[in-house]
Each structure stands twice: as structure tokens, then as C-alpha cells.
Amino acid sequence: MPKMITEQNLRALIDLLVKEGSRVVGPKAAGTMTLYEPLAAGEELVLTELPRRSAKEAFFPLCETILTYAKGEEGVQVNDIDPARFPETVLVAVRPCDAAAPGILDAVFSWDYDDQFYQERRKKTAIIGLACTKADDACFCTAVGLSPAETQGSDLFLTPLSGGGFRVEAVTEKGEKLLARYSQLFGEAGSAQPLPPAEPGGEKLELARIKAWLDANFESPLWQEIADRCAGCGACAFLCPACHCFDINDEGTEAKGARRKSWDACGFAKFTNHASGHNPRDAQNKRYRNRLMHKFKYYDDKFGKHLCTGCGRCVRACPVGIDIKAVLDEINSK
């Protein structure tokens, strides 16, 4: 029998999880926008707006310390960060375009190097997805094979019901467990109908066709055309749920400091800059090309997936109006 949860009980569930010591992360009001942030109480949850930044932060922090060092009397002491101490996390009200991302990123973070920091966070996180009932003109999840009602990537999936509350679906074993453990908060879904899913606009993209064009067009005037406009910031990559490049920096003094891993973006002029001063991507056209190629060709070649969930964040954020959907439409029509 399908289950349902009222909005009130969803907030109560958050309160309960927080009380039990879990870190609960969900959309929360942050100044002029909504961001995925740790919730102190269920009432903080914002259900109406797509967070400005994606949920990838829960697995792949904006900046994390990977070791600290200090010079003492017995020489330099290096303290490794033990991933076993990462907190158990429940991600709440995650949109399908965000929930789909970790499933895509698992491939690269467990590929030739087994990234313990990512893996451990992933293992300790349960995702409660939320179907979208509202889309704007930047959204294009349906064009890249997802949908506003896509359950994949979520452990538990909520669909808003017309009379209020949500239909609850356990997608994975983790989800089943959550459902069983807090069964007192879930009721039987009656005859209430789910709200119609959002309808993102945009022509459907033939990703195989786009990949075939990318296979053949490493050199194309298109890259320069876009690079002429590109300002070279990292807004697109930093808001993207699937971009996962990072940089490692040692910061501190000779006596004490930390090694930190933080997000990097292929838009930056210093991206892939070698210590020698040589940079294989020494011009913006090569860097923008890398952005598209990585998303729709290289990742596909390697893992059979593409690095785009159609959330539209890069489209909304680009300060010079570069619209990846428009670029893909153009390639699609070639």
C-alpha cells in the first residue's frame, strides 16, 4: 500500500532526525536566496524554491581540509582527517536534477583513485527526493533524459499531492529503512492525486548525435565564438550539480597549516596550469571546449554517462548569458 506524509510530519521527521544526531541538509532561506544548508529544525525547510547551489556539496564540499600539519619539538606532525568521522546525513527535499548527480559522480570518484572522502560521505547520506511541480525557462531536465518526477538517485521520493502532503515512495533499501524506522510519521496514501509534474521547456536533445559531433569536432570555430563572450569565471561549474573538478592547496605558515581541497572550474585561466608555467588549455576556447567535451563526450567515453542533469543553474548564473542549452541545440541541429 503506498504511503504518504503530511508537510507537518515531514518537518517533524526533520526535527526527529536532528534530535537523534543526524545532520539534516535541505533547502533553507539564506538571505535573498535558498541554499542547501544544514537545518536546525523542520520549520526551516523551504519547499517552494530550487536552491541556488546544487546538493553536490553534501558529498563534495566546496572546501574541505584533508590534512593539517604542525611543527613541534618532535618535528612535523601531520594529522590526517579520518573520513570515518563524517556525520550521518539526510538530504531532504532534493530536486530530481540534484538527486541524479551523485549516481553520475560515483563512477569517477571510485575509478582509478578510490576517493575515500567522497565515498564515505556518499555511504553516510540518505537522499529524500522531491518531485518538481514548477519549472522556469532555464530548466531542461527532460531534454537530457531526466524528468521532474524522476526517482532515480533518491532513496525516498516525495511527490506533492493536490490536497497537501506528499506521496512517499521507497526507492532503495535505505529508503525502506527510513520508512520503517519512522513509520509513525507516515500514513496510508488515500485517493489524493499527485500534483502534475513541472513541464520544463526546451527541445529534447539527441545526446548520441551531439556526442558524434563532439567526436568529430575537437577543432571547431564554435569554441572561439563562445570563448569570445566567456568571461572566464567559475559560476557555471560551481553551481553545477555534476561538475567535480577540484584543486588542492597548502595554506598556512612554515609552522602550522592545512592542506585543503576546493572546487575548481575549467573557466579559470589557471585551470590545468602546470608548475612549469605551461598550460595545455592556454586559451578560453580550449577551456570552454573542455567544459562541453567533458560533459558530453569524455565522461560518456569513460563511464557511459553525461555530466548534465538539466537543472539550468549555469544558464541562470552565467554573467555573459552563455546558455548551454542553446549551445547544445545548435550542435544538435548540425
Partner 1 sequence: MHAEKVKHDFEPKIVAFVCTWCTYAGADLAGTSRMQYPSNVRVVKFPCTGRIDPVFILRAFQKGADGILVSGCHPGDCHYMAGNFHARRRFAAFRKLLEFVGVDLARLQFSWVSAAEGGKWVEVVTELTERIRAMGPLEEFKELELEECWSGKIDTPELQEAYKAIP
Partner 2 sequence: MTNTAQKLDTIPLVDSGYWSSVTEAIRTEAERLLSSGEVTAVIGYRAGRRSGTALPAIATSPEQARELVFSPGCVNNLALYLTKAKKDVAKKGKVAIVAKGCDLKALAGLMGESQLKREELVIIGVACAGVYGASADRSLPLSEETIARKCRECTVHAPEGVDLTAGSVPALPQLSPEEAEELARLEAMTPRERWAFWTEHFSRCVRCMACRQVCPFCYCEQCYCDRNRPQGVETSPRPAGNTAWHIVRGMHLAGRCAGCAECERACPMDIPLNLLNRKMAQELKELYGHEAGIAPKEKGPLAEYREDDDQSFIK
Q: Which residues sit at the interface with partner 1, rule CB under 8 A? A: 25, 37-38, 57-58, 60-65, 68, 70, 79, 81-82, 85-87, 252-253, 255-258
How far apart are the C-alpha atoms of 266 and 234, rounded to whole Å? 7
- Residue 70 CB, nearest distance to partner 1 (Å)? 5
How far apart are the C-alpha atoms of 274 and 234, rounded to whole Å? 19
User: Distance between the two ends of the chain, CA-based, in angstroms?
Assistant: 49
Residue for grid cell 584533508: 66
Helix (H, G, I), strand (E, B), or coil: what is residue 162? Answer: coil
In the bound state with partner 2, the residue whose beta carbon lies nearer, of 72 and 277, is: 277
Q: Which of 92, 143, 178, 265 binds partner 2 (CB under 8 A)?
A: 265
Which of 28-36, 71-79, 214-222, 301-309 is the region at the interface with partner 2 (rule: CB under 8 A)? 28-36
Task: Give the number of other Cβ atoms within 10 Å of residue 61's Cβ.
Answer: 18
CA 184, 190, 193, 197 dihedral sign is: positive
In the bound state with partner 1, the residue whose beta carbon lies nearer, of 120 and 323, is: 120
How far apart are the C-alpha atoms of 72 and 4, rounded to whole Å? 58
- Residue 107 CB, nearest distance to partner 2 (Å)? 25
Binding mask 81-120 for partner 2 (x = CB under 8 A): ----------------------------------------
Binding mask 157-186 for partner 2 (x = CB under 8 A): ------------------------------
Half-sphere CA count of 2, side-chain side, radius 13 A? 17
- Residue 54 CB, nearest distance to partner 1 (Å)? 11
Instruction: Please check whether residue 148 is in contact with residue 113, taking contact to mean a CB–CB distance below 8 angstroms.
Output: no
Q: Is 10 in the site for partner 2 (CB under 8 A)?
A: no
Q: Is 245 in the site for partner 2 (CB under 8 A)?
A: no
- Residue 131 CB, nearest distance to partner 1 (Å)? 25
How open is the CA angle 121-124-125, to the nearest 5 degrees? 85
- Residue 87 CB, nearest distance to partner 2 (Å)? 19
Q: Which of 50, 128, 138, 243 binds partner 2 (CB under 8 A)?
A: 138
- Residue 77 CB, nearest distance to partner 1 (Å)? 9
In the bound state with partner 2, the residue whose beta carbon lies nearer, of 41 and 283, is: 283
Pairing of strands 63-72, 33-38: unpaired
Residue type, 271: F
CA 209, 232, 261, 120 dihedral sign is: negative
How far apart are the C-alpha atoms of 304 and 298, rounded to whole Å? 9
- Residue 50 CB, nearest distance to partner 2 (Å)? 13
In the bound state with partner 2, the residue whose beta carbon lies nearer, of 7 and 329, is: 329
Q: Is 39 in the site for partner 2 (CB under 8 A)?
A: no
> Which residues, listed in sequence order, are joined to residue 79 by a DSSP beta bridge?
68
How far apart are the C-alpha atoms of 46 and 54, rounded to whole Å? 15
In the bound state with partner 2, the residue whose beta carbon lies nearer, of 21 and 31, is: 31
Instruction: Please check whether residue 188 is in contact with residue 3, taking contact to mean a CB–CB distance below 8 angstroms.
Output: yes
The contact set with partner 2 (CB under 8 A) reads 30-33, 35, 52-53, 62-63, 137-138, 224, 227-229, 231-235, 237-239, 247, 249, 251, 260, 262-263, 265, 267-268, 270, 283-285, 315, 317, 319-323, 325-326, 329
